[in-house]
Amino acid sequence: MNWLNNICLLTDSYKVSHHRQYPPQTTRVYSYFESRSGAAYPQTVFFGLQYWLKHYLTGQVVTREKIDQAEKLFKSHFATPVFNRAGWERILREHKGRLPVEIKAVPEGALVPQSNVLMTVENTDPQAFWLTNYLESLLVQVWYPCTVATQSHAMKQMILQALQQSGDPESIGFKLHDFGFRGVTCPEQAAIGGASHLVNFLGTDNLAALALASEIYAEPCAGFSIPAAEHSTITSWGRQNEIAACRNMLTQFPSGTVAVVSDSYDIFNCCANIWGGALKDQVLYRDGILVIRPDSGDPPKVVVQVLEILGEKFGTTRNAKGFRLLHPKVRVIQGDGVDFTMLGLILKAATSNGWSADNLSFGSGGGLLQKLNRDTQRFAFKCSSVTVNGAERDVFKQPVTDPAKKSKAGRLKLVQQNNTYQTVPQTDLRPDQLRTVFRNGTPLAETTFNQIRKLTV
Ligand code: AOY
């Protein structure tokens, strides 16, 4: 039995004692998930819940063995006995081990302004009132795909703005490539974060992302890549043979786009004397695009210097928007030090020096999948309504020490309000944009990657 697939254990320790802490006669706990005001990005892309639903919550997730395992662990872990064995046994007996909760959520791929309800959870068995928030720890982990998709979406808008100003916005799909597999903590994170990026883009070197998009979102191949060098494949030829290493790239891959990391010794020498010198004719006669990759130094400075050298050696043209374009056989990819802030600085440096953003693409690893946390979008999951003694009451927190942490009260509805969303009480008569995505062990209203990409414009 796998410890990390035991639903009794996929929570915070303190929640194991919470069934004894609600008011007597509590029969329902209703909680909601939001990106609170003050988030880094004003709108959040909702993405990733379907992975948690399908991977952790579907079907018979409670078994006698899992209850026994939890009970044994908690005997050691807690000084005071707390485990709700009867509660879990009821789920096993009365619900065949399927979780008696209903989860509603905004469609995956939707772009929702901060301070709106994104998901709600409530128990469907009055005796399982304690289960709603037992699931908080696991369900709130969707902060991660939402935040990656949100930031990647914001980076997309930034690149689009530069392309609208200086080049061709149609090329956006391959402008930000996922280099992030090695920079995350484990393959599961690579898969989740990588798939979140692919909501917005088509380029990736993160193969784990493709597995998740395929298994969870029915997309057989969600992202694409090209042959590309790493330092070892260049430096193993020896410092004196960098030209031969570069020539080999052109002969091994005689057509299509190929990328070569070119800073092994001296990026400026490589651009001027190898690509723009010894191998210039082979680059020009090759049937495809050579993408030159700087990988060190101050990115805005190095990128502009590289563009200037390549412009000098291969020639440039001026596009309809008045910006300089490199020879069509030569482009540049910057993949070192690229996060949201640096992306803006590089684009600004290039365009303010007259270079079209068409000359550039970007790679991002840690900046795309790892330099963010639950506070980036200020995600929180809070109870807003309970039923006690048959009476429904609004509940909320309102700490004097931080008014921005005030939570919403009552049963909530998300309505469409001139092309965006607004959270209102369920008494509002407009249709709810939250859909039931899970009920009593079964995922509902499953979404494909295709549908998600259509929604996220
Ligand atoms: N990949 C575009 C295709 C990918 C990579 C992956 C870490 C690529 C490099 C490139 O051009 O240069 C992981 C660093 C780079």
- Tens-place pLDDT, residues 315-367: 999 999 999 999 999 999 999 999 999 999 999 999 999 999 999 999 999 99
Whether residue 39 has pLDDT greater than 90: yes
Structure tokens at 361: 């693409």
- pLDDT-based confidence at residue 253 (cuts at 50, 70, 90): very high
Residue 3 confidence class, pLDDT cut points 50, 70, 90? confident
Ligand 1 residue neighbourhood (C-beta within 6 Å): 177, 179, 205, 225-226, 228, 259, 291, 293, 333, 335, 363
Would you state the pLDDT for residue 2? 83
Distance from residue 285's CA to the centre of ligand 1 (Å)? 24
CA 385 – CA 309 distance, rounded (Å): 64
Ligand 1 centroid–CA 182 distance in Å is 12
Task: Spell out the alpha helix ranges (H) of 199-319.
Answer: 207-217, 231-235, 242-252, 267-269, 280-285, 299-314
Structure confidence at residue 456 (pLDDT) = 87
Tokens of 120: 């709600």
**Residue of 174, 197, 205, 361 with the most ligand 1 atoms within 8 Å of its CB, for mutation:** 205
Query: What does the alpha-carbon distance between residue 377 and residue 41 come to, in Å, rounded to a whole number?
Result: 7
The amino acid that residue 230 corresponds to is: E
In the reported structure, the alpha carbon of residue 297 is separated from the centroid of ligand 1 by a whole-number distance in angstroms of 17
Whether the Cβ atoms of residue 160 and residue 185 lie closer than 8 Å to each other: no
Atom of ligand 1 nearest to the CA of 291: 11
> How far apart, in whole angstroms, are the C-alpha atoms of residue 395 and residue 373?
27
Could you tell me the distance, in angstroms and rounded to a whole number, from the CA of residue 229 to the centre of ligand 1? 8
Q: Is pLDDT of 265 > 90?
A: yes
Would the pLDDT of 1 be above 80? no
What is 3-146+372-456's CATH superfamily?
A: nicotinate phosphoribosyltransferase (3.20.140.10)
SS3 label, residue 407: coil
Please report the atom of ligand 1 found closest to the CA of residue 179: 13
CA 228 to ligand 1 center in whole angstroms: 6
| Average model confidence (pLDDT) across the chain | 98
429 pLDDT higher than 80: yes
Mean pLDDT of 174-190: 98
Q: Provide the residue ranges of all domains of the chain, joining segments of one domain with +.
A: 3-146+372-456, 147-369
The CATH number corresponding to 147-369 among 3.40.449.10, 1.10.760.10, 3.30.1370.60, 3.20.20.70 equals 3.20.20.70
